Structure 1
Amino acid sequence: MAPRQTEWDFGLSRLTKFFFGPWSHERTVDETIADAALAYTDEPAGEAAFAILADAVRLERSSLSTEVITIVWTVASYGGYNLAYFGVDGRDWLRRVAAVCSEQARQADPAGASAVEPVTASEESVRAVVAAIAAAEPALAAKAETFFGHEPGEVIRALELVAAQVDPDLGFRLLLRVLGACRVPISDAQYAQYEALGEMFGYGRFHVLDVEHLTRW
């Protein structure tokens, strides 16, 4: 896979960083989404917006339960915008995200903004990501008994379902965000595995590096 045109995290996993707890309420929800959808200076216009839009649409249209969507969002954003607390349905949230990002993506590419298709992933990539997610469960469980009311096992199962039923790329990116947000220690061997997966998915040079510090915890 060719390297992406960003050196950093992207898509829905990038959006969770903008709502990372404690989220600043100085910006409205829509303003925060729009901020995340702005491209870095070295990225093509509209790319960041479309990446978030594509993740949100695929997840919203998937067969996954709304509870799974709520779990992965809440934990990856470390409760910064806790959907259950605000009484927001997980699928309604994804529709709101998509609405904001589609407008920005449409300004850059009117045709491309509507071209979100399901991901066709190889069985090999799915197995590799699901294995990486499963291997993180002991460290996640050692970190805390629950994460915003969700047990570590629930979090792992939710990530596995995203990887297996929606997109292994998205599942892996959300795994990295959960580990980083929850400050979960990882081994050197795990980090090497993440680097290999990042290379397989064509990530930029700073994407997986974002969790490298967890090997020293």
Structure 2
Amino acid sequence: MAPRQTEWDFGLSRLSKFFAGPWSYDRTVDETISDAALGHLDEPAGEAAWAILADAVRLEQSSLSTEVITTVWMVASEGGYNLDAFGVDGRDWLRQVAAVCSEQARQADPEGASAVEPVAASEESVRAVLAAIAAVEPALTAKAATFYGHGPGEVVRVLELVAAQVDPDLGFRLLLRVLVACWLPISDAQYAQYEALGEVFGYGRFHVSDVAHQTRW
């Protein structure tokens, strides 16, 4: 796969960082989504918005339950924008995200808008991501705590569902995000595995390195 036109995290995993607790209430929800969708200065206009839009549409249109979607968001965003507390349905949230990002992508490139297609992922990539997700359950369990209201097994289960039923790329990006959100230590071997998966998915040089410091815990 060719490298993406960004060196950083992207899509829904990037968006979750902008809502990470304590989320800044001096910005509206739509303004915060828009901030994430602007991307970095060295990225093509509209690319960050399109990446978030694609993730949101694929997840919203998937067969996953709304409860799974809500759990994924809660853990990835570090409980910052608590959908249950605000009375927001998980699928309605994704539709809101998609609406904001769709408008930004259209403004950046009026001719470039196209339908979001389902992911045609290889079985090998799905298996590799599922193995990486399953491997973190002992570390989650060892922390002997719930994670933003969810147990270790539940966190692993929802990540596996995203990887297997929606997109292994998105599942892996959310795994990296959860590692940071839950302060999980990782081994050098795990980090090497993540780097290899990042190459498979065409990630930029500053993406997987988000978790590099966690090999030193």
**Shared fold (TM-score, shorter chain, > 0.5):** yes
Measured in 2, the distance between the counterparts of 1:176 and 1:37 equals: 20
Measured in 2, the distance between the counterparts of 1:144 and 1:11 equals: 30
Q: For each residue in 1:178-204, what CA deviation from the matched residue of structure 2 results, as whole angstroms up to 9, or x when unmatched?
A: 001111111111100000000100000
**What is the RMSD computed on CA atoms of the aligned residues?**
0.9
Measured in 1, the distance between the counterparts of 2:144 and 2:84 equals: 20
Q: Report the Cα offset of residue 111 of structure 1.
A: 4.2
Counterpart residue number, 1:87: 87
Counterpart residue number, 1:126: 126
Question: For 1:83, what is the secondary structure of its paired residue?
Answer: coil
Counterpart residue number, 1:11: 11
Q: For each residue in 1:139-158, what CA deviation from the matched residue of structure 2 results, as whole angstroms up to 9, or x when unmatched?
A: 11222421122111001000
Q: For each residue in 1:70-118, what CA deviation from the matched residue of structure 2 results, as whole angstroms up to 9, or x when unmatched?
A: 1111001100101111111100000000000000001122343332100
> 2:2 is matched by which residue type in structure 1?
A
Counterpart residue number, 2:76: 76
How does the TM-score come out when normalised to structure 2?
Answer: 0.98
Q: Superposition pairs for residues 158-169 of structure 1, below 5 Å?
A: 158-169=158-169
Measured in 1, the distance between the counterparts of 2:114 and 2:97 equals: 14
Counterpart residue number, 2:58: 58
Counterpart residue number, 1:110: 110
Question: For 2:85, what is the secondary structure of its paired residue?
Answer: helix
Identity %: 85
Measured in 1, the distance between the counterparts of 2:117 and 2:131 equals: 25
How does the TM-score come out when normalised to structure 1?
Answer: 0.98
Counterpart residue number, 2:37: 37
Change beyond 3 A, Cα 1:159–1:77: same
Structure 1 unpaired stretches of 5+: none
Counterpart residue number, 2:196: 196
Measured in 2, the distance between the counterparts of 1:139 and 1:188 equals: 14
Counterpart residue number, 1:48: 48
Larger helix fraction of residues: 1
Measured in 1, the distance between the counterparts of 2:149 and 2:123 equals: 32
Measured in 2, the distance between the counterparts of 1:175 and 1:21 equals: 18
> 1:201 is matched by which residue type in structure 2?
F
